[in-house]
């Protein structure tokens, strides 16, 4: 029998697909909503999803998104609502008074949600707990950003103040590693005229993910990135779970307490050579490599829903030594190595070879639909990039 119905938004993302599978594996009935502007939604192809919905884009149409969501949950069938992106998290937080009487959302106060999405607040709070980010400066103009970048030396990381930029006309923006002044000026303009300029530092990236509630960890999954796409500052495409270190756990818990967060989260860090860490990003919702945590025995979305529904789930830690591979991104990483002469040919060949016993975000033997959908999407994008541009008559 079903343990209850869960509605999750933004099902076009890898993290939400993993959450839907994890919830279904734990006995929940899952409804997955895609954004109307999304071109594809792999989770809609999944056997884990019992109901497929479409909602207005939470980035460009906050009012429409909340109104449509209120109409859906007013049916009274859903026990839990999970936001799947930063934009939907922000919108649901703003519209909580219209939703909380119908469905459990479990969000902390609006100010805590705002702080967890604000990269400046993250930097300040992380510094209080020995998780200082790399040297970071808020710049209020392109000229100021370029001057600072020249002092630091290119490349530099440029970050929006929040992943959702703008008030009336909002946009979803991501951090980027930039190598020249022109690109930096354009990025600052795209971010609305202000940006965080961060010194580029190298090191092993560590993901500390989990469920935080009642001022404690209900579940945790720590992993180390082996490869990313893009290669120098991108999303993880090959990683491995590792045993959590008590010193890091204590600092992460203290940081989340200060920010006031409750729910699913992932904190990305750069491991320094002196056994300390730089905090670089916080994702307070389902994140890209969530499938790894679930595959390693820490079903974080199910733990969070169980907590919201009043049970007391036993604290769980992901098993070390489990690998994650985002196939098409990792293949692009290997091709990049070959084309750019980075590393030996055998090393690139190792990236391009197949791997067994690995958790994949899309491909799953008992649930092949999302893998097929991803192949179709990658093929479509490849064809579009290969198509020659039309010349004027």
DSSP 162: B
The whole-angstrom distance between residue 285's C-alpha and the CA centroid of its chain comes to 7
**Segment 168-195, tens digit of pLDDT:** 678 899 999 999 999 999 999 999 999 9
- Single out the residue of 4, 93, 87 nearest to residue 38, CA to CA: 87
CA–CA distance, 60 with 177 (Å, rounded to integer): 26
Is-contact 317 298, C-beta < 8 A? yes
Report whether pLDDT(393) > 50.
no
The reported pLDDT for the residue numbered 342 is 61
**Segment 220-261, tens digit of pLDDT:** 999 999 999 999 899 999 999 999 999 999 999 999 999 999
**Segment 335-373, tens digit of pLDDT:** 888 888 765 555 655 676 666 779 999 999 999 999 999
Is-contact 361 239, C-beta < 8 A? no
CA–CA distance, 204 with 293 (Å, rounded to integer): 19
Please list the residues that pair with 269 across neighbouring strands. Answer: 206, 279
**Segment 39-80, tens digit of pLDDT:** 889 999 999 999 999 999 999 999 999 999 999 999 879 999
Report whether pLDDT(389) > 70.
no
Find all residues with CB under 8 Å of 138, minimum gap 6, and list them. Answer: 120, 161, 194, 195, 196
Helix (H), strand (E) at residue 139:
strand 136-139
The whole-angstrom distance between residue 207's C-alpha and the CA centroid of its chain comes to 11
Mean pLDDT of the chain: 93
Q: Beta strands of 200-288 (E only): which ranges?
A: 204-213, 216-229, 235-242, 263-271, 277-283
């Amino acid at each position: 029998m079903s343990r209850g119905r869960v509605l999750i938004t933004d099902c076009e993302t890898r993290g939400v697909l993993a959450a839907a599978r994890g919830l279904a594996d734990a006995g929940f009935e899952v409804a997955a909503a895609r954004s109307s502007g999304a071109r594809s939604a792999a989770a809609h192809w999944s056997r884990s999803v019992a109901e497929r919905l479409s909602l207005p884009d939470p980035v460009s149409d906050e009012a429409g998104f909340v109104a449509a969501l209120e109409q859906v949950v007013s049916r009274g069938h859903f026990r839990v609502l999970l936001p799947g992106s930063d934009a939907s998290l922000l919108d649901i937080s703003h519209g909580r008074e219209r939703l909380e009487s119908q469905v459990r959302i479990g969000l902390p106060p609006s100010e805590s949600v705002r702080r967890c999405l604000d990269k400046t607040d993250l930097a300040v709070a992380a510094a209080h707990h020995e998780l200082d980010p790399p040297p970071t400066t808020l710049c209020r103009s392109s000229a100021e950003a370029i001057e600072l970048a020249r002092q630091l030396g290119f490349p530099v990381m440029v970050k929006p103040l929040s992943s959702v930029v703008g008030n009336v006309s909002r946009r979803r923006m991501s951090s980027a590693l930039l190598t020249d002044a022109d690109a930096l000026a354009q990025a600052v303009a795209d971010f609305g005229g202000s940006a965080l300029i961060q010194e580029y530092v190298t090191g092993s990236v560590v993901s500390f993910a989990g469920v935080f509630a009642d001022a404690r960890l209900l579940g945790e999954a720590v992993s180390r990135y082996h490869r990313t796409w893009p290669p120098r500052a991108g999303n993880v495409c090959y990683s491995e779970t590792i045993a959590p270190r008590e010193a890091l756990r204590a600092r992460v818990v203290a940081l989340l307490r200060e920010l006031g967060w409750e729910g699913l989260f992932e904190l990305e860090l750069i491991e320094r050579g002196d056994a300390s860490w730089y905090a670089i990003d916080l994702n307070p919702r389902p994140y890209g490599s969530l499938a790894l945590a679930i595959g390693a025995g820490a079903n974080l979305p199910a733990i969070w829903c169980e907590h919201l529904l009043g049970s007391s789930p036993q604290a769980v830690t992901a098993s070390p030594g489990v690998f994650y591979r985002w196939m098409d991104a990792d293949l692009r990483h290997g091709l990049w190595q070959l084309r750019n002469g980075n590393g030996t040919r055998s090393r690139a060949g190792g990236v391009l070879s197949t791997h067994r016993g690995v958790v994949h975000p899309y491909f799953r033997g008992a649930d092949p639909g999302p893998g097929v959908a991803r192949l179709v999407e990658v093929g479509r994008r490849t064809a579009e990039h290969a198509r020659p541009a039309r010349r004027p008559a």
